[in-house]
Chains A and B, each alone.
Chain A
Amino acid sequence: MSVETSPKSSDLERGMKMLEYLERGPWPSYVTELKKTKYPIEAYAEGLARKYTPWLSGSFRVRYVFSGILARRSRDGKFVEIHFRTYAPAGRFYSTSYLRKVVEVAKRYGIGLVELGGNTGALVMNMIAEKADEAVDAIRTIMGSDVGGSGDTFREFYACPGPALCEFALYDTLHAMDYVRSHPAVYRYLNTQMFPYKIKFKFSGCPMDCATANSRSDFALIGTWVGPPEVDQGLFRKMVEEGKINPKEIVDSCPSKAITWDEERKELRIDGSKCLKAMNCIRKAFPAIKPGRNRKIALLVGAHAQGHFGPKLARAVALLDSIEEVIPFAVELINKYMELAPRRHRIGDMIIRRGFKVISEVADKTLPNKPKGMPSTHLRVSIGAVLTDDERKLYEDWSKQLVNEYFGSSSGTR
């Protein structure tokens, strides 16, 4: 399985051999897909062999478009790579008629390559530089969408599928995403680069947080409820009698230790003051146990992976009753963010530098009378590290043992 190359072979040759290896596995290969398109595979192969990214920022402009277009040129100057981030419909449901238009645009103006589920939430299309100007118009008129969501602006919004497919959705995440994205106060910034750094909104329908709002969004909106989950005792008893659920197991596995089972009366009691909304019992005994009726949208701010002071989790602001209530808060906070934060600082970094009072002041003003959270804090996490040669050797030796364990001792000679 290992890749045989002579020491004389060039980086490109070694790289192309590596790509062949990456096409041979049981999982569908991205290299196979790339090779069906006009993607400059040579640049990528060379980079892989050198362990060095082949791309530098390119300078490329389409008139009146200030976000959503990213241009690269290779270090040797031979290749360019242009890709567009396009706004996706909420929940990323794509009808086939929409996708046919994506195909049409990608064929006429692109290199025939798309990234269906980009990490920002966008659908990413690789384009041809010479046709990029027309491609923007084609995306607007043919696809009925637009480029956007790169640079120091609102990145693409993301919502979990919510009520469209999920029984746990506690508010309408898809509507909420469309509402916020198209609200004039937000919409006006979509084509600008006015923020110190990016701003992300993510919408999750329940505390399980399928949109990863808790760890990836400056404004996290997560569905939750107040009080205990609702128990339909009759249905619960029936499910127990049918052997579908074991009440003892539900009691024991509750992370909040909030549940008791009355064996005599055959009743399940949940202490709302203890319940941490871990959804454990609900997932096990749905629909006999459901989220409580007093539903809220939890507003949290300041999470991100990429920022001045490293990755952070979201901090609690307030419990909202409807999505409309987030707008005045967001407008006020964004103004404050633009005024106070240095460049390349996210909202979470601003909180570290100035304290959580920057948020609570805005919240007191724009969200009076809303229940406020008790924001937690955590230590800084360092992702990278500068290692000494000894330390590197230590981990290298350990990894050799591991490789032996999993690939056999013959692998050491690679």
Chain B
Amino acid sequence: MGMSLTVTPEPRDRMNKRLPIPFSTQLPEIIRNNYGKWIDRRLHGNGIIEHISETGDKVFTVKVGLPPNSRVSIDTLEKFIEIADKYGLGVVRATRGMNLEFITDSLDKALKIKEEVEKLGFPVGGWGASLWHITSCTAYLTCTTAVVDAPSITQVLYNHLKPFFTGEEKLPAKLMIFVAGCPNVCGGTLAGDIVIVGHYGQAPRPDPERIKFCLPTSAEALKKAVPDVAAVCPVGAIKVFGKPDGSVGIEVDERKCIACSRCKNVCDYFDWDPSKIGVAIFVGGKTSNTGTGPRLPYKVIPWLPVNPPEYREIVAAVRKIIDIWRREANPGERLGDFIDRISIDEFMNKLGAPRTRHNRCEEISWNFGVRQFVTYM
């Protein structure tokens, strides 16, 4: 783009990445003094944790819910900075679940932070037996491979599930929801309690006009290397071949395709029918070693229609899953542990989703995470 203005005298310097100043300089003095010395914690409501140090010092963190995909304007960010300076220790922390923690040194100030952010419209909560977060990928906001729009689904779910975040309504244990726009699952992890993933529901069709941008120009080149667009297919459903006229053709075998969207990752020029796209819902995954340990989730619903902006089908399914769990789980039992106890078949009966070849949900015993070191434990 032919730009010449620059403040670096030698642009080549950019080759050496500048790493951020060490984290310790970001920390307030009280945390530096008590680094690694914490001995206990106490919850004050659902959104404030008191951390107690062996030195007797105390720090309070306040967890504030952010808009989906943690998108904030500079305007809002400046207001947060003011609050963090006035009532906090001049530091905030972005959580893994796309929320924000304010850190302060007394309960009064923590409550004041709660009051101030609530005045701005941001809820406080999300710890203990509650909805911790709904994490979202960027989808239509910026992504080229998104099939469905995750931030708007997240917004609608948050609107419906807010009382579980603030603690007005109770859950048996913590609940983490992840929403991703395509099978790349950038919306966090697949190993979540409830994971909603958009997918095509169909084999992608090469755009007849523009697919050529992803193919070599001559059939001769195919002898040397398989083009990326075919090589990335894990099931060999994409065939590239030389045509008699020397050009290159492409075909997608619909019977083999698993709609994983790998091909879409390397080439923009695949097309699909928006009326056939949908979301799959996975339930009971976990990355933590608590309970029965880390595991991938079960695909309980392989496809649901996507109807923005209300997404009623998705909201209803998520609420149904939460309702079954709330009604029948023991206190402290996460969704995955609950399903392990009653068996996935029983859970599927309660959910009532039709069972097809796509959601057989076979029982699997998992032994993952640090449990793989069991012989040394």
A34 at interface (Cβ–Cβ under 8 A)? yes
Q: Which single member of B20, B61, B257, B366 contacts A165 (CB below 8 Å)?
A: B61
A261 at interface (Cβ–Cβ under 8 A)? no
Cβ of A161: which chain B residues have Cβ within 8 Å of it?
93
Q: Which single member of B152, B366, B367 contacts A22 (CB below 8 Å)?
A: B152
How far is B337's CA from A86's CA once the two chains are assembled, in angstroms? 37
Q: A89-B26, A117-B95, A407-B312 are in contact. Are A34 and B374 (CB under 8 A)?
A: no
Cβ of A276: which chain B residues have Cβ within 8 Å of it?
289, 293, 371, 374, 377
B301 at interface (Cβ–Cβ under 8 A)? yes
Mark contacts of B343-355 with chain A using CB atoms, 8 A cut-off: 1 yes-contact digit, 0 otherwise: 0000000001110
| A30 and B19 form a contact (CB under 8 A) | no
Mark contacts of B181-213 with chain A using CB atoms, 8 A cut-off: 1 yes-contact digit, 0 otherwise: 101111111110000010111110000000000
B104 at interface (Cβ–Cβ under 8 A)? no
> Which residues of chain B in 80-131 are interfacial with respect to chain A, using CB atoms and an 8 Å cutoff?
80-81, 84-85, 90-100, 103, 121-123
A323 at interface (Cβ–Cβ under 8 A)? no
Q: Which residue of B lies closest to A51 (CB)?
A: B274
| A313 and B369 form a contact (CB under 8 A) | yes
How many whole Å from A348's CB to the nearest CB in chain B?
A: 12
B316 at interface (Cβ–Cβ under 8 A)? yes
Mark contacts of B290-321 with chain A using CB atoms, 8 A cut-off: 1 yes-contact digit, 0 otherwise: 11111110010111111111101101110110
| B234 and A309 form a contact (CB under 8 A) | yes
Q: Which single member of B92, B203, B266 contacts A94 (CB below 8 Å)?
A: B92
| A22 and B234 form a contact (CB under 8 A) | no
A209 at interface (Cβ–Cβ under 8 A)? yes
How far is B148's CA from A74's CA once the two chains are assembled, in angstroms? 16
| B71 and A34 form a contact (CB under 8 A) | yes
A130 at interface (Cβ–Cβ under 8 A)? yes
| B191 and A146 form a contact (CB under 8 A) | no
| B296 and A134 form a contact (CB under 8 A) | no
Q: Which single member of A21, A216, A395 contacts B310 (CB below 8 Å)?
A: A21
Cβ of B266: which chain A residues have Cβ within 8 Å of it?
344
> Which residues of chain A in 272-304 are interfacial with respect to chain B, using CB atoms and an 8 Å cutoff?
272-273, 275-280, 286-287, 298, 300
Cβ of B364: which chain A residues have Cβ within 8 Å of it?
378-379
For A117, A137, A344, the residue with the greatest tally of chain B CB atoms inside 10 Å of its CB is A117
| A313 and B376 form a contact (CB under 8 A) | no
How many whole Å from A143's CB to the nearest CB in chain B?
A: 8
Q: Which residue of B lies closest to A407 (CB)?
A: B312
Q: Which residue of B lies closest to A88 (CB)?
A: B20
B167 at interface (Cβ–Cβ under 8 A)? no
A245 at interface (Cβ–Cβ under 8 A)? no
Q: Which single member of B96, B147, B162 contacts A27 (CB below 8 Å)?
A: B162
| A48 and B96 form a contact (CB under 8 A) | no
Q: Which residue of B lies closest to A92 (CB)?
A: B94
Mark contacts of A99-116 with chain B using CB atoms, 8 A cut-off: 1 yes-contact digit, 0 otherwise: 110110011000011111
A90 at interface (Cβ–Cβ under 8 A)? yes
Q: A53-B139, A211-B96, A405-B320 are in contact. Are A381 and B201 (CB under 8 A)?
A: no
Cβ of A407: which chain B residues have Cβ within 8 Å of it?
312, 316
| B309 and A48 form a contact (CB under 8 A) | yes
How far is B77's CA from A83's CA once the two chains are assembled, in angstroms? 18
Q: Which residue of B lies closest to A124 (CB)?
A: B138
A342 at interface (Cβ–Cβ under 8 A)? yes
| A398 and B187 form a contact (CB under 8 A) | no
Q: For chains A and B in complex, what number of residue pairs have CB atoms within 8 angstroms?
A: 516
Cβ of A364: which chain B residues have Cβ within 8 Å of it?
none
| A141 and B51 form a contact (CB under 8 A) | no
Cβ of A103: which chain B residues have Cβ within 8 Å of it?
74, 77-78, 81
| A386 and B372 form a contact (CB under 8 A) | no
How many whole Å from A376's CB to the nearest CB in chain B?
A: 5
How far is B3's CA from A33's CA once the two chains are assembled, in angstroms? 30
Q: Which residue of A lies closest to B176 (CB)?
A: A212
A240 at interface (Cβ–Cβ under 8 A)? no
| A90 and B23 form a contact (CB under 8 A) | yes
A151 at interface (Cβ–Cβ under 8 A)? no
Q: A140-B14, A212-B96 are in contact. Are A30 and B67 (CB under 8 A)?
A: yes
How many whole Å from B330's CB to the nearest CB in chain A?
A: 9
Interface size class of A (residues with CB under 8 A): 35 or more
How far is B289's CA from A277's CA once the two chains are assembled, in angstroms? 7
| B372 and A376 form a contact (CB under 8 A) | yes
How far is B289's CA from A211's CA once the two chains are assembled, in angstroms? 12
Q: Which single member of B144, B260, B319 contacts A384 (CB below 8 Å)?
A: B260
| A403 and B313 form a contact (CB under 8 A) | yes
> Which residues of chain A in 234-290 are interfacial with respect to chain B, using CB atoms and an 8 Å cutoff?
253, 255, 272-273, 275-280, 286-287
How far is B75's CA from A112's CA once the two chains are assembled, in angstroms? 8
| A48 and B316 form a contact (CB under 8 A) | no
| B371 and A115 form a contact (CB under 8 A) | no
A2 at interface (Cβ–Cβ under 8 A)? yes
How many whole Å from A388's CB to the nearest CB in chain B?
A: 9
Q: A207-B288, A275-B377 are in contact. Are A33 and B94 (CB under 8 A)?
A: no
| B21 and A384 form a contact (CB under 8 A) | no
Mark contacts of B49-90 with chain A using CB atoms, 8 A cut-off: 1 yes-contact digit, 0 otherwise: 001000000010100011111111111111011001100001
Q: A94-B26, A276-B371 are in contact. Are A1 and B310 (CB under 8 A)?
A: yes
Mark contacts of A46-67 with chain B using CB atoms, 8 A cut-off: 1 yes-contact digit, 0 otherwise: 0111111111110011111100
Cβ of A395: which chain B residues have Cβ within 8 Å of it?
278, 301-305, 353-354
Q: A115-B69, A148-B17, A386-B254 are in contact. Are A53 and B143 (CB under 8 A)?
A: yes
> Which residues of chain B in 24-60 are interfacial with respect to chain A, using CB atoms and an 8 Å cutoff?
24-28, 31, 35-36, 38-41, 51, 59
For B39, B203, B262, the residue with the greatest tally of chain A CB atoms inside 10 Å of its CB is B262
| B358 and A385 form a contact (CB under 8 A) | yes
How many whole Å from B146's CB to the nearest CB in chain A?
A: 4
| A373 and B372 form a contact (CB under 8 A) | yes
Cβ of B6: which chain A residues have Cβ within 8 Å of it?
133-134, 137
Q: A18-B308, A277-B377, A403-B313 are in contact. Are A98 and B372 (CB under 8 A)?
A: no
Cβ of B147: which chain A residues have Cβ within 8 Å of it?
53
For A107, A137, A214, the residue with the greatest tally of chain B CB atoms inside 10 Å of its CB is A214
How many whole Å from A142's CB to the nearest CB in chain B?
A: 9
Q: Which residue of A lies closest to B309 (CB)?
A: A18
Q: A22-B156, A30-B67, A383-B190 are in contact. Are A89 and B292 (CB under 8 A)?
A: no
Q: A174-B23, A411-B312 are in contact. Are A55 and B142 (CB under 8 A)?
A: yes
**Would you list 13 pairs from A and B whose C-beta atoms are within 8 A, ordered by A residue?**
A31-B155, A33-B73, A61-B1, A87-B17, A144-B21, A145-B21, A164-B35, A187-B17, A279-B290, A316-B373, A383-B260, A398-B354, A414-B307
Known pairs A167-B39, A384-B259, A392-B276; list 7 more (Cβ under 8 Å): A51-B308, A53-B181, A311-B190, A384-B261, A386-B259, A391-B303, A399-B313
9 smallest CB-CB distances across A and B, nearest first, come from A25-B159, A384-B259, A316-B372, A117-B94, A384-B199, A163-B36, A207-B289, A27-B158, A215-B191
